[in-house]
Amino acid sequence: MLRRLAHRHRHRHARTVALAVAGLALVLSAGTTGAAAPAARHAGAAPRTVAAPTAPTAPTAPTAVPAAPGSATPLSGYAVQSTAKVADAAETVSSPGYPATGWYPAGPRSTVLAALLAAGVYPDPFHSTQQKLIPAADFTVPWWYRSDFTVAETTARTHLDFSGVVSAADVFVNGRRIATTSTVAGAYTRHEFDITALVRRGTNTVAFRIQPNNPRKHLTMGWLDWLQPPPDENMGIVRDVTVRRAGPVALRDAHVVTALAMPSMASADLTVKARVRNDSDATVTTTLSAAVGATTVAASVTLAPHETRAVVFTPAEHPALRLRSPRVWWPAHMGGQPMYALDLTATVDGTPSDTAHQAFGIRDVRAPLNADGARQYEVNGRPLLLKGGGWSPDEFLRWDPTYVEDRLKYALDLGLNTLRLEGHIEPDEFFDLADRHGILTLPGWECCTKWEGEFNRGGSGERWTAADHSVARASMAAEAARLRHHPSVISFLIGSDAAPNEEIERGYLDALKAADWTAPVIPAAADAASPITGRSGMKMTGPYDWVPPGYWYDKREGGASGFNSETSAGPDIPTLDTLRRMMTPAELETLWKDPAAVQYHRSRSATFDTLELYDSALAARYGAPASLEDYVRKAQLAQYENVRAQFEAYSRNAKDPADPSTGVIYWMFNSGWTSLHWQLVDRYLDQGGAYFGAKKANEPLHVQYGYDDHAVAVVNNRTAPATGLTVRVTLFAPDGTQKYDRTVTGLTVAGGGASSTALTVPESVPGLPTTYLARLLLTDAAGREVSRNVYWLSTEADVLDYERSDWYYTPTTSYADLRGLNSMARTAVAATASTAADASGTSTTTVTLRHPGTVGTPALLTDVHLVGAQGAPVLPVRWTDNQVSLWPGESVTLTATYRTADLRGAAPKLRISGWNTPTAMVPAA
């Protein structure tokens, strides 16, 4: 195992994005982060040719900063320029009135390259290999970030508060350096500086001289083998820089520690904590009042000059902080997501001096190890199977709240409940959205860069210095303080592919304890142990490349047992619409004709840069592709069956008495760019076989087939039990000839992820051809169809060679024969559709699909795409179901929900196609 892990580290993370960090930061535990202006939606679709920008200029308007006590105003943007092009002294550059001629505008959260892309300096890096045209040498020198803000008066105290500097910076205010790179270091560290003495009425200037980055050398973030990393290595400022105003007393670290009474949930104790700081030269008495809903508590505190003191309000001293019948936060599909609010005010002589606000949720999360040593999460006392995906931000860390929420809604649409963030821990608004939608999150440090350099010698990270230990502790303290109040955050993973040594782990745990962290702390995402926390209870056995659907049912390697923190069958070829947006015609020709070709849009890793394993399996199982369209058609079918099998196997085994499955994270949920692998959702939010395979597998009440034992089971993901169910299983030849039919009635399935076997399909069925179809129908007590699931199977099984398993896949020595699907007769599907728009800007298109025949071949995996002008997909869109299979005489009604504005004034149409269904356009207005 150790040799396999080392091999994995050498290949999986051999090439990483370079980011830099140095020194120790002053860490604050609380603060307000303002929302950034949204970037252009789907910014990856930038112009494909190099622009010739006019002379760029700095943002025209400085940020207006009010004097109101407790105000926290994020800088609205920057002017950026390479130090190679700026000859002026730092004191001059950072002084008000500096012209910044020829500088580029940047948003409030922006890497250098994101700003240059927005200015049209470079071509769209998401198309073809155009990212290669961006000269990496431009980003080997520091870059200036410069911003102006105005104040009307200087009586209030002023502080500069920020994190998210990638990787390190010298910081200047009005021509004076207030911090160096030895202090402002690390992407996750938090910094606050008192700049009261430097602030003047009118215009003031903040300037950062940002250092180049290298994640092998510094504690920032890298891209591992996910994509081709950005040439600037994400250098920049990717979180808000905030100007805070207050009176003589400042409030910091405001938060609520919740303790939900278990198992009754009849009450919850709230402990309110904050630090009060006297920033003046005189002794001050302040009154601190804290309000949670209708409950208000207060205390008077006398502070010596420049003294800081912790204030704690406990339920023992303030019984009103013991809530009766609290509103409990639940994950989606298990209950509601109510939130509470804490408001604090510090007053001096009856005048507000500072305020703080914090939203929080009440819930109980535990993650004990089960009898088999696997991590079993429990939320509010209910064990649940974590079903999720690996989250990726935009490659250039551009923050677009609408685009992020669209993806989170997709996760819910797929029946997922969890997203894992390996590094790239998103801004505050991401976790606000996760709280609102009930999506659980697993943030943690990333693999194999400097974060694991001291204890994972198979990675590429360098050994730590004393300064690195300080930055790591400061990073942990800052992230713990930022995330602790989010009920959606159910763990922090302090290691990924390896667990930290005792010194590093102790630093993390001390920081977490000081921040009142209450969620479980996991030592690693891999099967590893740390000296203090112990076993991880997780496994990281892959696979990461193609394996057949039956692989997932074996309780070995990456199969459905325990908690698999990252796993999938690798490539996920997007739809033809997306492929044509991201690749040239010549590249598309190579895509389907040359499996050995290096694919720029797969990975920079030598292990994953071709599609050979995937393409070999596709050709062997479905037949060699005859064209690009045929290749994509077969890919969607293959991805549907494989992703469905992965989630179905883990769901079926969740309640097994021996070695149950407790969690599965699909690697990955999405990609940060235009990709050919590791994605359920592509860059443009289009949906293909992988998407709808996951959606089918994770239905609330679901009937499914076991590739291993031929058993047909019903999985009930609802809370309540289901009774009076009927399961019908029918096997067909590809031409529609029925070969087997059996119905089981009166089935009952408990809730909470329980499953029940309805029947087992015989191993041998007379007259069954090599390739055949299995239709599974589940109806409720009223006779309504609640789940329909269609499989394409073979009497010749895929055969795996587990003895030759590598860290990223298990070889297949012979393949299932599904080539009989190619003989299916072309079968048209009739469709009628209509669309209704509501006042909120949402449209709903309803379509009824009908197989018009009375006998004959079924229509397999019929796909419906909503399109607008020029036939372009309308995205995002959420379907009740899609890629459905219909037998003669059958019909199904589907609905699609989307933003009316995304039609861009066009009348909606439906593009209907399928495995053996000719493409047709149907009006849907």
Which residues does the annotation mark as catalytic?
497, 566
Distance, CA of 512 to CA of 505 (rounded, Å) = 10
341 within 8 A of 507, measured Cβ to Cβ: no
Nearest to 834 by CA among 919, 909, 913, 914: 909
Classify strands 859-867 and 884-886 as parallel, antiparallel or unpaired.
Answer: antiparallel
Distance, CA of 253 to CA of 900 (rounded, Å) = 43
Provide the terminal-to-terminal Cα distance of the chain, rounded to the nearest Å. Answer: 58
Distance, CA of 389 to CA of 585 (rounded, Å) = 31
Which distant-in-sequence residues (6+ apart) come within 8 Å of 516 by Cβ?
255, 257, 273, 484
Distance, CA of 250 to CA of 239 (rounded, Å) = 22
3-state class (DSSP) for residue 620: helix
Greatest Cα pair distance, the chain, in angstroms, is 94
* H-assigned helices in 502-611: 502-514, 576-582, 585-593
Block residue for tokens 């049209």: 120
Which distant-in-sequence residues (6+ apart) come within 8 Å of 317 by Cβ?
none
Nearest to 771 by CA among 741, 798, 797, 792: 792
Which distant-in-sequence residues (6+ apart) come within 8 Å of 830 by Cβ?
849, 850, 851, 852
579 within 8 A of 591, measured Cβ to Cβ: yes
Distance, CA of 771 to CA of 816 (rounded, Å) = 9
Q: What is the signed CA dihedral for 670, 675, 678, 684, rounded to 10 degrees?
A: 30
Nearest to 504 by CA among 472, 457, 550, 545: 472
Classify strands 78-82 and 143-151 as parallel, antiparallel or unpaired.
Answer: antiparallel
H/E stretch holding 447? none
Query: For residue 293, how far is the Cα from the chain centroid?
Result: 32
Query: For residue 561, how far is the Cα from the chain centroid?
Result: 23
* Partners of 203 in beta bridges: 150
Distance, CA of 431 to CA of 426 (rounded, Å) = 8
What is the token pair recorded at 430? 């991401």
Nearest to 509 by CA among 529, 489, 532: 532
Distance, CA of 552 to CA of 643 (rounded, Å) = 10
Distance, CA of 381 to CA of 260 (rounded, Å) = 10
Which distant-in-sequence residues (6+ apart) come within 8 Å of 264 by Cβ?
none
Nearest to 485 by CA among 418, 548, 431, 542: 431
Phi, psi of 641, deg, nearest 5: -65, -35
What is the token pair recorded at 647? 């989630």
